[in-house]
Amino acid sequence: MKILDKTRLDSTAQGLLHREIRSLETLQHPNVVRLFEVVDMPSRLYLVMEYAGGGDLSNRIHVEGRMCDHFAKITFAQILAAVKYMHSLNIIHRDLKAENVLFTLSGCVKVADLGFSVRVSNRNHLLDTQCGSPPYAAPELFQDEPYLGPPVDVWAMGVLLFFMVTGTMPFRAETMGKLKRCILDGSYTIPPLVPAPCQRLIKGVLKPRPLERYVLDQMLGCEWLLPVEFPWRFGTADRDSPVLDVDNNVADEETEIRSAMDALGFTEEHRRNNTLSDSRSPVGQCTASCCTAPRCPAELTPSLWSGAWCGTPNERACGPIGDSGTPPNSAPSHEQWQIPHTLNPGSP
């Protein structure tokens, strides 16, 4: 649960918060963190969100080391599924990074923190707000020109993939100016320990020119991910449709949920009059939380995840990393490296 003191939120923070709420109310996918309810009190705002008790990707790699190839595929496939789903609804995340990739206790991925997200009218819609974390920022974000949203998310996914399979960041520098130069030049080296199919995917994604960059469908069909089954639907979900409609054929577990809600006094009329997308409706969100239990791959079990990491930080072939993917104490953290004039909630 997020508890926010409304008296301490300036206009910028309020804009980002409302943007995140709007995006989360729209999204219903097993790999996107769920917003169950918003409780708006005079001085505080309570966001009741899905619990992800397995930590975030950044912390896990810092502690456990880089991911082994098999589990990197499973994890990246889920991130890809989440982003593909968001883009199908014309929602651009714009702040994909390891700290925003969460895990449930069973290892299911949950993409979180949509404060910088924006909904565009179409995929050719140009954006002009520079935002996100610089180590994950696409080259076009440093050029002070309008940019397309989807390629920015694709680039960040390439940085994420590099981080997952090597334990370090592709673009590293001691200063913001040097980091910007590295990203604009597209200068990085993939360690030979990374399998060739994965290297080809990284190179296809981390192309400086956005129109030459892989699109999501190319990533889905790449050789490296061919052995991976995508259990998640990629299409648009209609969150306003009654999940427990009496005219539909429902699974046994949904029938049990309906019976339980009936016992609590939530009638069919209540469910129809309170949509799942209204986070301020207790009835709608009670229905949503009961009916949208996440599904994860069967192979994501705690026992198997214990072998997902290749060594400890001291044993990594690529060396230890700090918060920004650079050697410890050599660079500021992501929070200190926010791109200037990024926080402008009044514009996309």
* Active site residue ranges: 95
CA distance 198 to 201: 5
CA distance 106 to 316: 25
Q: Is 226 exposed, middle or buried (0-12, 13-18, 19+ CB in 10 A)?
A: exposed
Quick one: tokens of 294? 């996440």
- Answer whether 2's CB lies under 8 Å from 279's CB: no
- Answer whether 162's CB lies under 8 Å from 170's CB: yes
CA distance 224 to 300: 19
CA distance 67 to 231: 21
Query: C-alpha distances in angstroms, 309 versus 46, 57, 129, 232?
Result: 35, 11, 36, 24
Q: Which residues of 290-306 are buried (b: 16+ CB within 10 A; e: fewer)?
A: bbbebebbeebeeebbe
Strands (E), 8-75: 35-40, 44-49
What is the DSSP code (8-state) at residue 240? T
Query: C-alpha distances in angstroms, 169 versus 53, 104, 135, 282?
Result: 25, 24, 8, 43
